[in-house]
Structure 1
Amino acid sequence: MTNIVVPQSFPDQLRNAVRAGLIASAIVGIIIGIVALIWPEPTLVVVAVLFGITLIFTGIYRLTMAFSAKLLPTGIRVFLGLMGAIILIAGIVCLFNPGESLVLLAILIGVGWIFQGIQEVAAGLAGAHYAPKWFLIGSGAFSIVAGIIVLFLPGAAIATFLIVGAILLVVVSVITLFTLPRAAEVPQ
């Protein structure tokens, strides 16, 4: 039988590389968070453009799947093609009208929360055993209400998401700097 030696920790060079990466990402996180707090409108435009680009790539991927996945049934391929075209067009529209893409993003979040809430309420009423019944129904009702608020106030929701997200990004980045692994001594 062969004895396997398992290292007790990361090699020193790897630990220092991870440490450097964590420091860099924390500094970038702090800068991005502060920029988002100081200049929220330009930050939202960047988010909107990135959302549009994401939709374009997703649409292209779905269209590629529709035309290349010969093993899928025709109905699924047609569905993928239609969804891909719709998503691609939505992405192009988002790039030319970033403000509207933020509203679309808020609507998608609101609808997602409503559906999640409905699922949780239904699970609670059906007696699901993965969480207490009262908790499922309560959290589901909260998700439904939050989704409705986002649908009716998408601009306020996006602004709130930005502010809260920026603050959390700064806080998490600062915490990362205080919880770094110790630097290892690298032989010269």
Structure 2
Amino acid sequence: MDSRAVRTFRAFVIVTAVVAVVAGVVAVVWPRPTLVLVALLFGVYLVVAGAMRVFAAARGHGTSPVWRWTSGVVGVLVGLAGLVALVDPAVPLVVYAVLAGVGFVVEGIAALVGAAVGHPGSSRVPTVVSGVLSVLCGVAVLLAPTTALEVFTVLAGIALVGVGSAALLLLPARAAARR
């Protein structure tokens, strides 16, 4: 690899690692505002995606009318979901948390049923422990979805700081890049 490519790669790694560390620190220090920002960005994405889908449906001459109508209706619904997220960012966040909580509970029940009937290749005790923990975590998320989101945000922030720091620490020295 030529030296310019190495320098470009190093710059890319440094910038992305620093952004990861900064974003991670922000998520750990201010989890609620971080969640609101993510919800707002998601809302903007949904509005744009919905508008583009409606535009594609309106301009889709030569395509199936069923596709055009379906795409247009889906686009309107996606755009409306984006507007809801922009008006009240807590709504989609709580919905996601509730869906995750329900998912944990359902997965835990499935694991417990699997442990009761037995399935090949798994041990009952770890399966029961996994099922019980999954149900308990799901109930905790359902009882306190906002707290669960904040905990997730803090853990994700810690992960970003770790990944960004590791990338910076593992980056070869400039002298090694020149060889």
User: TM-score scaled by structure 2?
Assistant: 0.72
Q: CA deviation at 1:140?
A: 8.3
Instruction: State the alpha-carbon separation in 1 of the partners of residues 70 and 106 from structure 2.
Output: 22
Question: Pairwise CA RMSD of aligned residues?
Answer: 3.6
1:52 Cα shift? 0.9
The answer (yes or no) to whether the contact 1:51–1:101 under 8 Å persists in 2 is: no
Per-residue deviation, 1:153: 3.1
Give per-residue Cα distances to partners, 1:19-45, cap 9 Å, x unaligned. 111111111211111122122222122
Following superposition, the deviation at residue 108 of structure 1 comes to 4.6
Matches within 5 A, 1:102-181: 102-110=93-101, 149-181=140-172
Contact kept in structure 2, 1:34 and 1:166, CA below 8 Å? yes
Pairing partner for 1:70 from 54, 63, 72: 63
- Alignment match, 1:96: 87
The structure in which a higher percent of residues are helix is: 2
Structure 1 residue 145: deviation in Å? 6.5
Query: Structure 1-normalised TM-score?
Result: 0.69
The one-letter code matched in structure 2 to 1:158 is L
Match of 1:34 in 2: 25
Report the CA distance between 1:87 and its aligned residue.
Answer: 1.5
Which residue does the alignment assign to 2:38?
Answer: 47
Residue-by-residue CA offset, 1:42-89 (whole Å, 9 max, x unaligned): 2122111112112212322433444427147x1x44333322222211
1:84 aligns with 2:71: no
Q: Distance in 1 between matches of 2:106 and 2:23?
A: 32
Of 38-47 and 60-69, deviating more is: 60-69
Give the aligned residue type for 2:79.
L
Does structure 1 residue 17 correspond to structure 2 residue 13? no
Supply the AA of the counterpart residue of 1:48: A
Flag the 1:119–1:18 CA change in 2: closer, same or farther, 3 A: farther
Q: Is the 8 A contact 2:28 2:155 kept in 1?
A: no
Counterpart of 1:6?
Answer: none
Mapped pair 1:185 → 2:144? no
Structure 1 pair 16–116 and aligned structure 2 pair: CA distance change class (3 A): farther
Q: How many percent identity over aligned positions?
A: 34
Q: Distance in 1 between matches of 2:145 and 2:57?
A: 33
> How has the CA–CA distance of structure 1 residues 128 and 71 changed in structure 2, closer, same or farther, with 3 Å as cutoff?
farther
Letter in structure 1 aligned against 2:72? G
* Structure 1 gap ranges (5+): 1-9
